[in-house]
Amino acid sequence: MARTFSGGCHCGAVRFEAVSDLETVIECNCSHCKAKGFLLTFVPPENFKLVSGDDNLTDYRFNTHNISHLFCKTCGVQSFGRGQTPSGMKMAAINVRCLDDIDLGALTLTQVDGKSF
């Protein structure tokens, strides 16, 4: 069942809300996700709201440049990103590790072989 989650960066400058059921949480082995230990879920833009910190975000893009990997310029944490799927659908990529009060052990992770893309 979908619910609204709150989350943000380490220092608290960036805060957001996202509506998700966390049914699909991926652990990708691409160089970026692996290095940062991301656990990701994706939501449509209408299910994501940046509450604070827009002026404190810095953008990093690599590979296809389809995802704006946004991180806090104070603490460096990447709590979410914005972009589009390979089919062109817009989305927000939520770093589940940055959601408040999440029991990571209770999640079912889907392994993704992003290294092969």
Beta bridge pairs of residue 40: 26, 95
Task: Provide the pairing of β-strand 90-95 with 109-112.
Answer: unpaired
Q: Is-above-0.75 flag for pTM?
A: yes
pLDDT digits (tens, 9 = 90+) for 56-113: 999 988 777 778 989 999 999 999 999 988 788 999 999 999 999 999 999 999 999 9
Q: What are phi and psi of 9, to 5 degrees?
A: -80, 180
Read off the tokens for 22: 């966390």
User: Domain residues for 74?
Assistant: 3-116
Here the CATH number for the domain that contains residue 58 is: 2.170.150.70
Contact 42, 57 (CB under 8 A): no
Q: Tell me, what's the pLDDT at 71?
A: 94
Q: How far is CA 83 from CA 12, 75, 96, in A?
A: 23, 22, 17
Q: Tell me, what's the pLDDT at 5?
A: 98
